[in-house]
Amino acid sequence: MSWDEEFFAETFWDGEYEAVIRDEERTAREAEFIARELDLGPESRVLDLACGRGRHALSLAPRVASVVGFDRTARFLTRAREEAAARGIGNVEFVEGDMARLDYDGAFDAAYCYFTAWGYRSDEENAEVLARVARALCPGGRFMLEMISREGLIRRFQSRDGRTFPDGTALVEERTFDFAAGRIHSKWTIAGPRGPKVLHLDIRVPASEEYPRLFAAAGFAETRLLSAPDGGPLTLDSLRIAAVGTRGDVRTFSPSGEA
């Protein structure tokens, strides 16, 4: 089992996530940012990659033609479907799957991956995800990748902290940043109702100037960098970054160099 599979199988932080779900003002602000920068309209077909419990997908659904929420964690998708039914939202489909195996071709006008949900694997595998997203879009389609900003992270970097979750689970997190690889390595020491456990997290966090190169290699014709979610210019104080790329006419392009 990969570290991210093991991490998302844990339920101790679901209560903390619940607080994010309940923050309707935050979700509305982020959804407005996504809609504006991706130029979403009533005819837009949208992909929410790593959708979690679908808070953005459900917020955006009333203003677009359709949304597909794609995530690997079944319990998140179950809650997303329940919430969609409770709200009477019928133009959202929640699909279980691994983003490294995303297999759509020209199916969407826009896509987004929000809240540092990319970068969990090798550089080659991470690049493959971007390539698959590009193929999933129609020519001219836009993609937003929203991540923690490396520059903002380094300015605020803490090598160690801890917290207690609503179910009583205690967590101590120890972090290092590998500048050569551009990765955060974290060791999570957990003491909870199911006993002690240690998780090792490894996330790729590109420098801002890397995003245009990564996007170009995946098949995007141009890339803009923004501070998220305000949409202003990116600065050294920006904690979060959004890279927005436009897919070019790349009909000969396919993931893994396939013909």
Query: Domain check: are 95 and 172 in the same one?
Result: no
Residue 38: helix, strand or coil by DSSP? Answer: coil
pTM across the whole model: 0.94
Does 33 have pLDDT greater than 60? yes
Q: Output the average pLDDT for the chain.
A: 93
Query: Domain check: are 219 and 107 in the same one?
Result: yes
pLDDT tens digit sequence for 185-200: 999 999 988 779 999 9
Query: Domain check: are 159 and 250 in the same one?
Result: no
Query: Does a cis peptide bond (omega within 30 degrees of 0) precede residue 229?
Result: yes
Query: Domain check: are 96 and 34 in the same one?
Result: yes
Does 44 have pLDDT greater than 80? yes
Query: Domain check: are 83 and 122 in the same one?
Result: yes
CA pair distance 30, 25, nearest whole angstrom: 9
CB 115 within 8 A of CB 34: no
Query: Domain check: are 139 and 159 in the same one?
Result: no
Q: Domain of 11: which CATH number? A: 3.40.50.150
What is the CA 73 to chain-centroid distance, rounded? 13
- pLDDT band at residue 258 under the 50/70/90 scheme: low
For residue 243, give both structure tokens: 């890279």
Domain that includes residue 86, residue range = 3-149+207-257
Q: What percent of the chain has pLDDT over 90?
A: 82
- CB-count burial class (<10 Å; 0-12, 13-18, 19+) for 198: exposed
Query: Domain check: are 16 and 60 in the same one?
Result: yes
Higher pLDDT, 81 or 163: 81
CA angle 8, 71, 18 (to 5 degrees): 55
Query: Domain check: are 32 and 74 in the same one?
Result: yes
pLDDT tens digit sequence for 89-118: 999 999 999 999 999 999 999 999 999 999
Query: Domain check: are 211 and 101 in the same one?
Result: yes
pLDDT tens digit sequence for 202-238: 999 999 999 999 999 999 999 999 999 999 999 999 9
Q: Residue written as tokens 């939202």? A: 89
96: Cβ contacts below 8 Å, ≥ 6 apart? 71, 72, 74, 77
Query: Domain check: are 198 and 77 in the same one?
Result: no
CA pair distance 213, 220, nearest whole angstrom: 9
- pLDDT band at residue 17 under the 50/70/90 scheme: confident
Query: Domain check: are 213 and 196 in the same one?
Result: no
Strands (DSSP E) contained in 1-106 are 45-49, 66-71, 92-96
Query: Domain check: are 248 and 192 in the same one?
Result: no
**For the sheet containing 92-96, what is the strand order?**
92-96, 66-71, 45-49, 108-113, 137-148, 240-247, 220-227
Helix (H) or strand (E) holding 253: none
Number of domains composing the chain: 2
